[in-house]
Amino acid sequence: MKAISAAGFILAASSCLAAAGAVAGTPSQVGVWKKNAAESLGMADQSGSETVKIRRHDAVLDFTWTGVGNDGKIETFSFKGPVDGKVQALPGDAGLKGAMIPTPDGVIESKLWSKDGSLEDKFCILTTPTRLTCFATVTDSAGKQSLFREVFDKM
């Protein structure tokens, strides 16, 4: 689940600004983001660290997510492609499939499926120029749903 929450972040991180609307001086998701564990709530691995590097955020989303669990295990995955809602395998060792889905208001919905059949459905909002707040539901492989909030600070 740790990989899913990070994956969801990146996918959703692309959600707030459309590249066509990006103007000099306008806050952007492009950059390096680190999870703020103190502000994040309800996560499967609350103390694990997550870093997301977003290289492009417009009609094409390009990012890499890296997470380190409290057990020291490192996982990574990436996405590079159009925000078109198509499900695809996400490169990396997390074994995820994902779909980046555009919404009419410019927020990207990210859906991430893990090998065990669990699903994360996530939306992120740029709440300040240096803070990204994400809200997600997770449905585990048994069908149980939970909600979490994940906060990332721009480095």
| pLDDT attached to residue 87 | 97
Which pLDDT belongs to residue 2?
53
pTM passes above 0.85 = no
The pLDDT assigned to 8 comes to 52
- Report CA-CA distances (Å) from 36 to 22, 43, 52: 26, 12, 12
Q: Considering only CA atoms, which of 66, 44, 54 is closest in space to residue 16?
A: 54
Domain presence at residue 58 = yes
* pLDDT digit string, tens, across residues 10-27: 444 444 333 333 445 678
- CATH code, domain carrying 137: 2.40.128.20
For residue 63, give its domain range.
Answer: 2-19+31-154
Question: Per-residue pLDDT tens for 46-55?
Answer: 788 999 999 9
Band the pLDDT of 98: cuts 50, 70, 90: very high
- pLDDT value for 5: 53
Does residue 38 form part of some domain?
A: yes
Whether residue 12 lies inside any domain: the answer is yes
